Structure 1
Amino acid sequence: MHGCPCSAATTRGTYAYKVALIRVTRLATEMPLLPPVESLLRTLVDGEEVDVEAEGLALLKVRGLADVLDGRVVLTSLGRRYLVARGEHRYRTPVEVLSVDVKARTVEAVVVGWHTTEPVTLLLDQVAAESKVPPVELVAGMFFEAEANCRTEDVEELVLTDIRVAPPLPKGWMNGGGPDA
């Protein structure tokens, strides 16, 4: 994924695409647009014409949420993703590391709240930066907690944020004995 020559924020499956999804999700959930600017973005979804001189359009363009093509203001794929992220539910969920590929800058993990057995690819740099665990210390078997859009059906659209090292399980839970074992 890392270093792929086709890495573009609009090309699904690339490192750049995943970084863009994380950025837009954070924008939507942590620093949403001001209501008049978000309203302008929603106007584009409804197919209404927007003046190329509209107030707030410059901000949408800078953030990659809208663009002007052939004199018309259009919603970008990231603009659509921003609006989806504004409305979707996010849940705190356990994340189990299955493997780490330092060269490819990826982590294979199970995001329990999304699917209990299907592995997903996460960005090593995101996991390390948010969890404050250096990449060389990330190993299979580690557990984290993260916010995720667990209801998405598309693994490419699964976005984790606020990744933290999970607290240790109570003694006895891993051997089937429950919390009092």
Structure 2
Amino acid sequence: MPISPEQLVILDRDGVINQDSDAYIKSLEEWLPYPSSIHAIAKLSQAGYTVAIATNQSGIGRGYYDAGVLGQMHDRLNALVNAAGGTIAHIAYCPHGPADDCECRKPLPGLLHDIQRALSLSSLSGSWMVGDSLRDLQAGEACGCQSVLVKTGKGEKTLTKGVGLENAHVYTDLAEFVDWLLSRSSG
């Protein structure tokens, strides 16, 4: 059954689903999920939402880890979400650094277009883009997504800057956003 863009929630990974690190998440041992985010993803799935992830992973391009290590992190993420009763429909990642001039690195919308193709959607307009940085929201807004800034990860710093957040909904964390979204759609 085709999904509607309004039923799609696209998440940034580091700082939204798991703890972020200025030194990069370079190993499975360093990948530390927020338990509340895992449960929030499961709640979205159970309520009929489709969840996808769009994540910049320039640590690959910088040589800090490789795609195999990233795959291990995403296998763990999928296993945790599945164990909680949820599903992640697609994970799109950009392995490039800021100077690589790619089309996929957020704030460019390439990762979101990848998700759109993978899920056979004609548009992302009305979908939700949840992130902890301005570049996450900019990528979403370029595709017509509704913006959500969470205060976890780099979110507090992003909020303090206050630039480019005019259209953003702001929540403490992913769990608080999901609770709001589900109460809105059920009410």
TM-score, normalised with respect to structure 1:
0.26
Higher relative contact order (CA 8 A, sep 6+): 2
Higher strand share: 1
Higher helix share: 2
